[in-house]
Amino acid sequence: MPMYQKFEDLPVWQEAARLYQQALDLLAESGVALSPGFRHQLDRAALSVSNNIAAGFEQATTRETAEFLALARSSGGEVRSMIAVVQDLPKLKPHRERLQAIRALADSCARQLVLWIRSLDASSGQGKQVPAADRGENHSTPEPPAGNRPNASRPLPPKPPMHDSTKARPAR
């Protein structure tokens, strides 16, 4: 199981960074017919995913970590919702592929965050994370406190059961 010393090494943080970069690229392109309010909110929500992952990584307890990861997941949901609302507008047809790529990245982040949160919930009895230096370990030790980092080698869960239902399809 890979262990991480810095949030920048987390695959989910890297995915969230790509999400923000793709959102920025879209927003920076001239001719993308989005309102200033939509642009501002998409910018903030997309950036919030990686920022909350980083903040969660830095927390001292598994509960605090899980709270920030839940915020990151919520921000990803906001991005997915925003894209779902506008992706079928005729004036955005030339950008549909880019919009779908942004939504797919937000979805990937959410699935990875769910797994991480579940692993934290399963290890909730472990209590406070202790920095390596306080455990008498070398700072270069690649292993953080048990139960507080995601397992990147685990496959992502399938889409939610309601994803392909007749009620869910119109909502997407």
Q: What is the CATH number of the domain that holds 104?
A: 1.20.1440.60
> Binning pLDDT at 50, 70 and 90, where does residue 142 land?
very low
Q: Does the pLDDT at position 159 exceed 90? A: no
> Any residues with CB less than 8 A from the CB of 134 and at least 6 apart, and which?
none
Kindly state whether residue 1 falls inside one of the protein's structural domains: no
CA dist., res. 2 & res. 4, Å (int) = 7
What is the chain's mean pLDDT, rounded? Answer: 80
Kindly state whether residue 2 falls inside one of the protein's structural domains: no
Kindly state whether residue 21 falls inside one of the protein's structural domains: yes
Kindly state whether residue 33 falls inside one of the protein's structural domains: yes
In the predicted model, what is the mean pLDDT of residues 138-153? Answer: 42
Tally of domains within the chain? 1
Say if CB 11 and CB 48 are below 8 A apart.
Answer: no
> Binning pLDDT at 50, 70 and 90, where does residue 138 land?
very low
> Binning pLDDT at 50, 70 and 90, where does residue 48 land?
very high
pLDDT tens sequence across 14-43: 999 999 999 999 999 888 999 999 999 999
Q: What is the pLDDT of residue 131?
A: 36
